[in-house]
Structure 1
Amino acid sequence: MEAAQQLLCTWQLQGKLPLREVYSIFHGPCPTLQWMKLLLDGVIVPWHAFISTLAAHQALPTVDNICSRGMPMVNRCVLCGSAMETHQHLFFSCPYSNKVMQGTLTWQGIIRRILNLKHKLNKLARYRCKTWRKKLSCCALAAGIYGLWHERNKRIFVGHCRSPDQLLRWIKYCVCLRMYAWQKGILNYDMLNVLIG
C-alpha cells in the first residue's frame, strides 16, 4: 500500500493521473474475456451487444437484482408469470424465452440448448468455423437477448405483448438485415441502426 501512495504522490506532483494505472493498483489486473471480442464485432447491433454484455455480467435491473438492493417488489416473471425473475430464468429457463432462444438455434440448424449466457459466449469464442457462421451465431444470440429484454420492458412499461413467434420473426429480420449489411459492407450506415435498433 505504501508503494501505491508513493506512486499517487509522484503523479500528483507531475500533474497527471493515469486512471488505468491507478485502477490496476487498487483492483489488480483485469482478466481478459475472450467473448467480449465477439460482442464488440461490428456485425452485432450496438444496442444488442450492450444489453448482452450486461446480461452476461448479470448486471441488468431484473427484479431479483432490484430486490437485493433493498427495494421491495413482487418478484414475478412478466413473460411467463409462473416463476421469480432472475437473469437465468428470464433468458433461458422461462418457457417464453426458451421457445424464442430455441427458435433462433433451430433456425440456424443447431439442436443444442443454451443453458448459460457466459458459457455459450465462451463456447462461441472457441468455436472454429467459417467467419460468417460465427458472426451469424453471435448476431442471433445478441438479438435474442436484446429481444427478450425489450419484450420484458414493453410488457412492464407499455403493456404491449408479442407472442414468441412474433418476437422470433423480429429477431430473424434483425439478424438477416445485419448479415446482409455485413456482406455488402454497409454496416456504417446509420439507417441500418435505425431500422434494427
Structure 2
Amino acid sequence: MIQVYLARLMHDLVSHKFADVCSIIDNGVWKWPQNRRPSFVVRRFIEETKFDPGGADRDSVRWLGHQSGMFSVASAVKIFREHGQQVNWYKLVWFKKHIPRCAFIMSLLCKRKLWTKDRMLARGIRMDDRCVLYRQYRETIDHMFFECPAASIVWQKVLSFCYVFRGNYPWGAELNWLVHHQAGSRFANDLFNLKLSTTVYYIWRCRNEIIFQNHVYNGAAIVNQIVQEV
C-alpha cells in the first residue's frame, strides 16, 4: 500500500525516490507542479501524514532506535531482543572477561535448559538414562553438576584454587550460594565466575565427548584444561 502511494506521489510531483526534500517542499509547503494536481487519494494521504522536513536543512538519516539518532549494533540488539525480568544470576554468566562458549553453556545451565538425558527421555527419546561420568546414577542437571562423584572431584579441585571449601549440594542450592558469594572486588568476582563457567563448560564437553566420541572420563585432564583456559 505504501509502495503504491509512494509511486503515485512521485508521479504527481514529477519527482523520483532519490530526490532531495527541497525539490518537493518549499517553506514547509508541498511544492506541486503548476500543471498537475494531485489525486484525491494522494492528497488525503498527505493531509493525514505529519511531515516536518526541517526547512532548507540538508537531508539526513536518523536512527530512531537511539536518542542520539546514530545507529549502533547495541541499540539494534536492544530493540529486537526479548525483554524480560532481570535474573539474579546474570553476573555469574555475563561479565567483562567472560568466554563466549563457556558463558553460553553456563546460561543454559542457569536456565536449566541443558539437554541432559532426563529431559530427552521426557521428550520421548529412548536411551540409557545413566550418567556417563559415573554410571550408577540417573543423569539430571542436579546430579551432573556438583552431585556426581566424578564431577565433584573436578569441582573440589577448582574451588580449592579459589580458597572455597564446601560440601556438595544440588545445583539449585549451589546457584543460590554462588549468587550471594559475589562479595569481593570486581576482579576477584570476575576471576571466580570465569573459573565457574569454564568448569561447567568442560564438564559438559567431557560428557558429550564420552557419548559421541567414546572418550574415557579423566578428571585430572579436565582440571588441566580449566587451568590452561583461565
TM-score of the pair, normalised by structure 2: 0.60
Greater relative contact order (Cα < 8 A, sep 6+): 1
Say which is worse superposed, 143-152 or 106-115, in terms of deviation. Answer: 106-115
CA drift of 1:124 comes to 4.0
Selected match of 1:149 from 200, 204, 211: 204
Aligned residue among 85, 88, 113 for 1:59 = 113
1:163 aligns with 2:180: no
- Kept after mapping to 2: 8 A contact 1:124/1:134: no
| CA separation of 1:117 and 1:53: change in aligned 2, threshold 3 A | farther
Distance, in Å, in 2 between the alignment partners of 1:117 and 1:38 is 14
* Residue 30, structure 1, aligned to residue 84, structure 2: yes
Q: Is the aligned partner of 1:68 residue 2:68?
A: no
Aligned mates of 1:103, 1:94 — CA distance in 2: 14
- Find the aligned partners of 1:120 and 1:131 in 2 and give their Cα distance: 21
For residue 132 of structure 1, report the CA deviation from its aligned partner.
1.7
What is the percent sequence identity of the aligned residues? 28
TM-aligned CA deviation for residue 102 of structure 1: 0.9
d(CA) in 1 for partners of 2:175 and 2:125?
Answer: 31
Q: Is the 8 A contact 2:89 2:110 kept in 1?
A: no
Which structure has the bigger radius of gyration?
2
Of Structure 1 and Structure 2, the greater helix share is in 1
What is the RMSD computed on CA atoms of the aligned residues?
Answer: 2.3
Query: CA 1:118 to 1:46, structure 2 compared with 1: closer, same or farther past 3 Å?
Result: farther
Residues 171 and 47 from structure 1, CA distance in 2 versus in 1: closer, same or farther, beyond 3 angstroms? same
Alpha-carbon shift at residue 71 of structure 1 (Å): 1.5
Unmatched segments (≥5 aa) in structure 1: 1-19, 176-197
Q: How many residues align?
A: 151
Q: Which residue of 1 aligns with 2:156?
A: 102
CA distance in 1, matches of 2:92, 2:124: 34
* Cα drift, residue 118 of structure 1: 4.9
The answer to whether the 8 A contact 2:102-2:197 is kept is: yes
> 5+ residue gaps in structure 2?
1-77
Distance 2:226 2:215 in 1: 17
